[in-house]
């Protein structure tokens, strides 16, 4: 396909505003693209190479302006191009408006004679440009780009300029390309979607849909070295999780950066970010970690910055390491990164996307068995059946300085790129109340010698308090013993296992919602209250008042 024809079609797509019409124009283009189909599918998304390849064009504005100026002739400088850009607001319009013909390019006469420039040639030349490196590579890039501009017609120049600066913006997103592939080659959208999630290669999957149909798409496999989109989480509560799945897989939520580690014992290790960027070179300790693995594997997890004691550092610290290209060794001295592996997508020749979580975790443990590394390890998982057990895990995670917990459906398969209901992220509540302890209940079983459940009250007037709920979760055994010792001397009355406590101690309590309720004197109840801390700095007179709580409910 001539690049000029491609540019005409792209202009028509850009001018269209109705989504369905855009999809249909893209589908028509796919049907007619012939051998150029993979390149066309990528170019529409503004990509020269598949998103996950480590090759990048690395063309900045100044290089693009220099190439445009040269193609426009001796009367135009790179500064003129920048001035025009300031006026026009986008590089495509500038490139289109310049008179770019007539300069002698590297290969001004293509195989089909003067001025012919095909889509395939553009793709090949941009690939050369992407791989140019080392000394003199800037000049070489300017040469290659100049040659393309020189041979392009005005519309072609418009899209070339946008393409090299990653500013395609023609209203075609990944969803449009997915739908267009399905419609062009008469295959189910779901099959295209799954194949794209597994491969992330729009070009290759368009070809597969055309040449092999649904069966070909279904056969798309994971490949070590080619990243998969990460499965994502929704926000949710412990109560939601218990209700939905009965058994809940609870993991620590690390405040780091998502990484996917691909390892082939016979080949190499690559590490990818959540955006599928290759970040291997920035994180050598993850490569060293993977060297101990003795089977091919794809691991999902979090890269976490830690201090000398191994305690977690905030997210910003890991970011300082993440995309670093220079001085990696020096930064490594400054910030230590560990890998916490929580999932396994491929182990020893077997794809595990359709395998339930707990079985994937078995594979993960097996794969990690030979690893003996300071640079991380298996992230622990516990299976909980009630909110208390979940709260225990959460208290431990928070006490260890982590961000919170993740709740996962033990039966769920791995759905790449999906923000689904099978993974729930639970961060600590932002909302807390300071409430007075006015009663308690003796515990049961292993907690029989301790006060277990604490009755909480809001301040009404002066020395008056109105009950609003009970808190029993979020308290570790150790903390429970402490609280019991502290509150026992304040018991004023006992009735069975229930005790009344003199209002002296203030608890900070997190909650998910305040509901109206006939159960408590205040007329309100806290939904899923959790112990956060004893407010040593507050007396009952400083506790939250019922008036404030009424205000919160109203707002
Ligand atoms: P958020 O970034 O708030 O949407 O939370 C989801 C992110 O939490 C994931 O993309 C991971 O980077 C991160 N995360 C930390 N620990 C875990 C874990 N145990 N399981 C899954 N994701 C985790």
What is the distance in A from the centroid of ligand 1 to the CA of 65? Answer: 41
- When pLDDT is cut at 50, 70 and 90, the band that residue 472 belongs to is confident
**Contact in structure between 452 and 483 (CB atoms under 8 Å):** no
Summarised one tens digit per residue, pLDDT across range 55-91 is 778 889 999 999 999 999 999 999 999 999 999 999 9
Least confident of 141-145, 149-153, 533-537: 533-537
* Averaged pLDDT for residues 406-419: 93
Does any ligand 1 atom lie closer than 6 A to the CB of residue 253?
yes
Evaluate if residue 102 carries a pLDDT over 70.
no
Going through 151-235 in order, the beta strands assigned E by DSSP cover 232-235
Which of these is catalytic: 253, 325, 427, 504? 253
Q: Distance between CA atoms of 273 and 281, rounded to whole angstroms? A: 12
Question: For the chain, how big is the Rg over CA atoms in Å?
Answer: 30
Does any ligand 1 atom lie closer than 6 A to the CB of residue 302?
yes
Q: Distance between CA atoms of 388 and 239, rounded to whole angstroms? A: 10
Cα end-to-end distance, the chain, whole Å:
61
The CATH number of the structural domain formed by 47-164 is 1.10.3260.10
Instruction: Determine the pLDDT at residue 48.
Output: 87
Q: Could you tell me what percentage of the chain is helix, strand and coil, using 3-state DSSP and rounding each to the nearest 5? A: 40, 25, 35
**Contact in structure between 40 and 6 (CB atoms under 8 Å):** yes
Summarised one tens digit per residue, pLDDT across range 248-280 is 999 999 999 999 999 999 999 999 998 888 999
Instruction: Determine the pLDDT at residue 429.
Output: 56
* CA nearest ligand 1 atom 23, residue: 253
What is the distance in A from the centroid of ligand 1 to the CA of 308? Answer: 23
The CATH T-level fold of domain 232-426 is D-amino Acid Aminotransferase; Chain A, domain 1 (3.30.470)
* Averaged pLDDT for residues 320-326: 83
Question: Percent of the chain beyond pLDDT 70?
Answer: 96
Q: Distance between CA atoms of 463 and 465, rounded to whole angstroms? A: 7
Does any ligand 1 atom lie closer than 6 A to the CB of residue 409?
no
The CATH T-level fold of domain 431-554 is OB fold (Dihydrolipoamide Acetyltransferase, E2P) (2.40.50)
- When pLDDT is cut at 50, 70 and 90, the band that residue 104 belongs to is very low
- When pLDDT is cut at 50, 70 and 90, the band that residue 41 belongs to is very high
Instruction: Determine the pLDDT at residue 410.
Output: 98
**Is residue 325 annotated as part of the catalytic site, yes or no?**
no
- When pLDDT is cut at 50, 70 and 90, the band that residue 107 belongs to is very low
What is the distance in A from the centroid of ligand 1 to the CA of 229? Answer: 13
How long a stretch of residues is the chain? 555
Name the residue ranges covered by the structural domains of the chain: 47-164, 232-426, 431-554
Q: Distance between CA atoms of 68 and 60, rounded to whole angstroms? A: 12
**Average pLDDT taken over every residue of the chain:** 91
Does any ligand 1 atom lie closer than 6 A to the CB of residue 201?
no
Evaluate if residue 110 carries a pLDDT over 50.
no
């Amino acid at each position: 396909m001539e690049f000029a024809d491609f540019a005409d079609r792209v202009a028509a797509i850009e001018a269209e505003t109705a989504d369905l019409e855009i999809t249909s124009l893209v589908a028509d283009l796919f049907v007619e693209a012939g051998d150029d189909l993979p390149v066309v599918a990528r170019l529409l998304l503004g990509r020269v190479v598949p998103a996950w390849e480590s090759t990048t064009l690395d063309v900045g504005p100044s290089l693009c302006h220099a190439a445009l100026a040269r193609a426009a002739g001796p009367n135009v400088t790179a500064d003129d191009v920048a001035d025009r850009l300031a006026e026009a607001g986008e590089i495509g319009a500038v490139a289109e408006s310049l008179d770019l013909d007539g300069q002698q390019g590297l290969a001004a006469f293509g195989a089909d004679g003067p001025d012919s420039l095909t889509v395939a040639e553009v793709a090949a030349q941009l690939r050369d440009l992407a791989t140019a490196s080392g000394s003199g590579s800037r000049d070489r890039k300017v040469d290659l780009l100049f040659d393309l501009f020189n041979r392009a017609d005005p519309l072609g120049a418009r899209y070339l300029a946008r393409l090299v600066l990653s500013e395609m913006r023609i209203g075609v997103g990944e969803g449009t390309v997915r739908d267009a592939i399905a419609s062009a080659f008469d295959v189910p959208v779901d099959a295209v979607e799954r194949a794209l999630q597994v491969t992330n290669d729009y070009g290759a999957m368009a070809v597969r849909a055309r040449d092999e149909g649904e069966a070909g798409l279904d056969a798309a496999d994971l490949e070590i070295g080619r990243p998969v989109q990460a499965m994502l989480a929704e926000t949710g509560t412990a109560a939601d999780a218990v209700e939905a799945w009965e058994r809940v897989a609870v993991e620590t939520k690390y405040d780091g950066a998502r990484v996917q580690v691909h390892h082939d014992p016979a080949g190499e290790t690559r590490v990818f970010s959540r955006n599928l960027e290759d970040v291997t070179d920035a994180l050598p300790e993850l490569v060293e970690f993977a060297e101990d693995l003795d089977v091919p594997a794809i691991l999902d997890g979090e890269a976490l910055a830690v201090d000398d004691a191994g305690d977690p550092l905030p997210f910003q610290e890991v970011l300082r390491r993440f995309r670093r290209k220079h001085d990696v060794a020096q930064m490594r001295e400054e910030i230590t990164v560990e890998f916490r592996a929580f999932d396994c997508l491929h182990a020893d020749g077997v794809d595990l996307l359709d395998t339930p979580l707990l079985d994937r975790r078995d594979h993960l443990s097996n794969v990690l068995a030979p690893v003996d590394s300071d640079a991380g390890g298996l992230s622990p998982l516990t299976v909980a059946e009630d909110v208390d057990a979940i709260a225990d895990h959460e208290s431990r995670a928070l006490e260890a300085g982590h961000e919170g917990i993740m709740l996962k459906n033990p039966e769920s398969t791995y759905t790449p790129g999906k923000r689904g209901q099978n993974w729930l992220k639970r961060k600590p509540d932002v909302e807390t109340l300071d409430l007075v302890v006015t009663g308690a209940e003796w515990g049961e079983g292993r907690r029989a010698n301790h006060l277990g459940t604490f009755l909480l009250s809001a301040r009404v007037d002066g020395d008056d308090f109105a009950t609003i709920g009970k808190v029993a979760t979020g308290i570790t055994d150790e903390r429970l013993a402490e609280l019991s010792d502290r509150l026992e001397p304040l018991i004023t009355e006992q009735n069975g296992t229930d005790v009344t406590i003199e209002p002296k101690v203030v608890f900070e309590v997190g909650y998910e919602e305040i509901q109206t309720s006939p159960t408590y004197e205040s007329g309100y109840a806290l939904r899923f209250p959790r112990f956060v801390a004893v407010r040593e700095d507050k007396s009952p007179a400083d506790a939250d008042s019922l008036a404030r709580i009424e205000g919160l409910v109203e707002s």
